[in-house]
Structure 1
Amino acid sequence: MAASKMRIVFGLLTFVTIGMIIGALFQLAFLRRLEDSYGTEFPLSRRLYQSRNFGNRQLSTGVLPWANDKEAETLRFRYIKPEIISWSPRIILLHNFLSIEECDYLVAIAKPRLQISTVVDTKTGKGIKSDVRTSSGMFLSPEERMYPMVQAIEKRISVYSQVPVENGELIQVLRYEKNQFYRPHHDYFSDTFNLKRGGQRVATVLMYLSDNVEGGETYFPMAGSGECSCGGKIMKGLCVKPLKGDAVLFWSMGLDGQSDPKSIHGGCEVLSGEKWSATKWMRQSATS
């Protein structure tokens, strides 16, 4: 009797197991048909998932609805991750804004032509040397602005800042070495000389071009309500750590069209390594 019951139980278990296997096979076949139909509908965008090393971060390049779309490639739709870090002043952190190749490209252009950085004289509007800014830098030339990689970066800046490309100044590349810094300042002009060409500065895009930097944060004293580490010192405000490929987009003018005093910012002291960055200022109207 017991043996008969065991045979019945074993038979039921075998039946259930076979049913589960058949169901799984039907499910796999159904998923495969979905994949095949997706590939037929979007033949240009079907890709196998693979891992791509992006600096120190791992990104997935999977099925992209915009694969082989040059516009989307230029704007890095797959990679850029916007993060709003302050509404007043308006600040957006754009993760992965530049590729590693673009960062290295800008550094390579700038390195042979670095000069001691200057600040704008509020009386004359001209650049003068000052102890408040101890970096070295250079501006890309109008000819270099026509290079395909530079054009791609400028178009990306225009799209995310919502300011036309022609309203942008030439990109400035900067290097901060150990113990160098930039005291808090405003990007908008206080003189009339600089307003003649393109009007007031509306927005700034600050792009980080190097890794392995200790200190060198971008510091916003009037943003946020907490504290942060600025060059190893705890300060009131908001600090953004420089990470290669990331960019900070902030506005020097408020929604009312007036200059925003809260947009004051600075470059914290570099404790070790070299901090490379690129800055793009956007104006109210065309600069040329």
Structure 2
Amino acid sequence: MNIKWVMVAVAALLAGCGGAQVRGDFPDPARAHPAGGTYVNLDDLRQYAPGMNKQQLYALLGTPHFSEGMWGVREWNYLFNFRRSVGAEPIQCQFQVHFDAKGVAIGQAWSPATCATLLQPAAVAAAPPAPAATPEPLRIAADALFAFDRAELSDSGRARLDDVVARLGARAGQVDLTVVGYSDRIGADGYNLALSRRRAEAVRGYLVARGVPAASVQAEGRGNSQPLVECGAAPRAELVRCLAPNRRVEISGIGN
């Protein structure tokens, strides 16, 4: 028998058994039905993956656009349109799915190939970096610096401020410090405000004497504002003890 005719017969037999080879080209977009293709939901299209069967793909993307059947067909072709934003000119892409003999998707192709990038989720703008947290001020109990109702530094108070200067080290001339004095509520508001100012100035003066540039240190008093604790009526000695946290000096700008 003529070899040529044998080969033709074998090819016809394979085609009849659904063994036709998968085509590598794309159909003419002008033959699409409906004309111009359809607008596809990108979220639906992103659900496609090899391993899906034809029924699943049909439910997901609808009927192929080039009169391709369900059974014995190894390739489905779609003509999809996309808009990047509302009112933008549509982008047209051809999408081709290849199936094995059992009708299971084994691969896909795009024309143009760049259309595949449309399935990538839109880039999410990176969140701006969180602002650096402002370091908490150094809080020193006034009772550790002064005798009760006094504004002259005690020996233990000077030693405590020596620790602050040591903490600053070589940065002592490179920082801007704010010293704020606070009092408790015992006594008149005006008196407490003046006392808190004198205490803040005493701390500032000592820091300057220990080498911190005078222009780098500010001092202010805030009296009995911004209390840390609230205490009810009590005998004076007990009230003094209860309000101790409110009597304080805070130094901002020291950092870590």
Asked whether the two chains share a fold, i.e. TM above 0.5, the reply is no
After TM superposition, the score normalised by the length of structure 1 is 0.20
The one of the two structures with greater contact order (alpha-carbon pairs below 8 A, sep at least 6) is 1
After TM superposition, the score normalised by the length of structure 2 is 0.22
Bigger fraction of residues in strand: 1
